[in-house]
C-alpha cells in the first residue's frame, strides 16, 4: 500500500496541463473516477486510499476545475463534448486499455460519452448521482433550464448558484443530523475557492448553459445500457435534491440486473457514507472485473481515440450569441 499510495501528477493533453491522482498497482483492474460540479478529484481522496490495495485508480480534474488548466472562455470551448475529448485523450496518453467508470454529476455525461464511443474499453459502471434520465431532475434545475432558454435574462439568478452558501448546501443538504460531523469543511471551501478564481464563474456559466445538450443524447446513453449491459452498481443518496432518487431507479429500466443502493445521504454521499460505498465497490468489482485480470495498461502501444488529433468527435455545436 505504501508503495502505491496516492501520487499527484499532471499530463499535457492538447497543450493543457491536466492534473490527476493515481494510486494502486497499474497491473490491477483500473477504476477511473470522474467528478462533478463544483468539486474536483479531491472528492475521491478517501475512496482512493480505501481501494488502492486492490485496484488501480485514476482521478483527473476536468479542465477549469481543481488543479487542471483553466483557460479563459475565449480560449477554450467549455462544453461536455470537449471535456470528454480531453478525458479520453488523457486515458489514451496514460495507456489505460480497459477500465471501470465511476461517474458523479458532471462526470456522468463525460463518462457515458466515452462508454458509448468505446464500449469495449468499459468493464463496469458505478454511478453516484450520475444522471442519465430526465427522471432524475429536481426543482433545483428549474432556473438552469430557464437559463438554457433565455441565458441573458436568467444569468443573475444562476450566478447565485456559485456562492458559498449554495456550495455548502450541496454538501450538507439531505445529510442525516448524526452524519453532518463527517463532512470536512474544506470540501465546500476548496470547491468555492476554485470558483472564486478570476474567470472561473464565467467557465461555470458556460457549462451550465451547455448542460442542455446532454439531455439530447440521453437516449444514446440508454441505448448503450440496453445493447452492452455493462455490470452496474448504483450508490445514490436518496435525499439528493440535485439529482433525485428517481434518476437512480430509472437505470433499472434498461439495466434490470444493476445493483442499486439508495443511501441515507445527499449529493456528495462519499463524504458521509464513504466506508459503506467503498465496501460496496470492492464487493461489486470482485464479482464483475476481478482483482488482477482486467484494466491492464497497454504495454506495447498507445490507444488512439476516434478522430484526428485536435479534431472534435462531437456534433456541430450551437453557440449562444454573445
State residue 319's pLDDT score. Answer: 34
Residues involved in catalysis: 267
Q: Can you tell me the mean pLDDT for 111-138? A: 97
Q: pLDDT higher for 321 or 253?
A: 253
| Distance (Å, whole) CA 282 – CA 54 | 8
255, 229 contact by CB (below 8 A): yes
Q: What is the DSSP letter of 269?
A: H
| pLDDT tens string 266-319 | 999 999 999 999 999 999 999 998 754 433 443 333 343 333 333 333 333 333
| Distance (Å, whole) CA 258 – CA 238 | 17
Tell me: pLDDT of 49 over 70: yes
State residue 316's pLDDT score. Answer: 30
Residue 68 CB-half CA count within 13 A: 28
Q: pLDDT higher for 314 or 80?
A: 80
State residue 194's pLDDT score. Answer: 97
DSSP states along 124-138: EEEESS---SGGGB-
State residue 291's pLDDT score. Answer: 57
Task: Tell if the pTM clears 0.95, that is, is over it.
Answer: no
- Spatial CA neighbour of 249 closest among 135, 165, 142, 87: 135
Find where cell 498497482 sits.
Answer: 25
| pLDDT tens string 34-47 | 999 999 999 999 99
Judged by average pLDDT, the poorest of 15-24, 78-87, 297-306 is 297-306
Q: pLDDT higher for 318 or 152?
A: 152
State residue 164's pLDDT score. Answer: 97
State residue 298's pLDDT score. Answer: 37
Take residue 141 and report the three cell numbers written for it: 434545475
State residue 3's pLDDT score. Answer: 58
Tell me: pLDDT of 91 over 90: yes
Q: Can you tell me the mean pLDDT for 138-145? A: 96
At 234, the pLDDT band (50, 70, 90 cuts) reads very high
Question: In a 10 Å sphere around its CB, with 0-12 CB exposed, 13-18 middle and 19+ buried, how is residue 144 labelled?
Answer: middle
State residue 26's pLDDT score. Answer: 93
Angle at 151 between CA 148 and CA 155, to 5 degrees: 115
| pLDDT tens string 5-19 | 899 999 999 999 999
129, 154 contact by CB (below 8 A): no
Q: Can you tell me the mean pLDDT for 120-147? A: 97
Find the distance separating the first CA and the last CA of the chain, reported in whole Å. 51
Question: In a 10 Å sphere around its CB, with 0-12 CB exposed, 13-18 middle and 19+ buried, how is residue 106 labelled?
Answer: buried
| pLDDT tens string 195-208 | 999 999 999 999 99
State residue 13's pLDDT score. Answer: 98
At 321, the pLDDT band (50, 70, 90 cuts) reads very low
State residue 36's pLDDT score. Answer: 97
Amino acid at each position: 500500500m505504501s508503495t502505491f499510495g496516492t501520487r499527484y501528477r499532471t499530463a499535457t493533453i492538447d497543450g493543457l496541463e491536466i492534473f490527476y491522482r493515481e494510486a494502486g498497482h497499474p497491473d490491477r483492474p483500473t477504476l477511473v473516477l470522474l467528478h462533478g460540479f463544483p468539486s474536483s478529484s479531491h472528492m475521491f481522496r478517501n475512496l482512493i486510499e480505501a481501494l488502492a490495495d486492490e485496484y488501480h485508480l485514476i482521478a483527473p480534474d476536468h479542465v477549469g476545475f481543481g488543479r487542471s488548466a483553466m483557460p479563459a472562455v475565449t480560449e477554450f470551448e467549455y462544453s461536455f463534448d470537449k471535456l470528454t475529448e480531453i478525458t479520453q485523450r488523457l486515458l489514451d496518453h496514460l495507456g489505460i486499455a480497459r477500465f471501470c467508470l465511476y461517474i458523479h454529476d458532471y462526470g456522468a455525461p463525460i463518462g457515458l460519452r466515452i462508454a458509448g464511443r468505446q464500449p469495449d474499453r468499459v468493464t463496469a459502471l458505478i454511478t453516484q448521482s450520475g444522471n442519465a434520465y430526465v427522471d432524475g431532475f429536481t426543482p433545483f434545475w428549474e432556473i438552469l433550464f430557464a437559463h438554457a432558454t433565455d441565458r441573458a435574462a436568467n444569468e443573475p439568478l444562476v450566478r447565485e448558484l456559485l456562492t458559498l452558501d449554495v456550495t455548502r448546501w450541496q454538501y450538507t443538504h439531505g445529510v442525516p443530523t448524526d452524519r453532518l460531523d463527517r463532512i470536512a469543511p474544506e470540501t465546500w471551501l476548496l470547491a468555492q475557492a476554485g470558483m472564486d478564481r478570476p474567470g472561473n464563474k464565467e467557465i461555470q456559466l458556460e457549462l451550465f448553459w451547455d448542460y442542455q445538450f446532454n439531455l439530447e443524447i440521453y437516449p444514446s446513453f440508454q441505448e448503450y445500457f440496453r445493447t452492452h449491459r455493462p455490470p452496474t452498481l448504483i450508490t445514490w443518496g436518496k435525499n439528493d435534491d440535485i439529482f433525485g432518487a428517481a434518476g437512480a431507479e430509472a437505470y433499472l429500466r434498461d439495466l434490470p440486473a444493476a445493483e442499486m443502493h439508495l443511501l441515507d445521504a445527499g449529493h456528495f454521499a462519499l463524504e458521509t457514507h464513504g466506508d459503506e460505498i467503498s465496501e460496496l465497490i470492492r464487493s461489486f468489482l470482485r464479482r464483475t472485473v476481478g482483482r488482477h485480470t482486467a484494466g491492464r495498461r497497454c504495454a506495447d502501444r498507445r490507444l488512439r481515440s476516434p478522430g484526428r488529433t485536435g479534431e472534435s468527435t462531437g456534433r456541430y455545436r450551437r453557440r449562444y450569441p454573445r
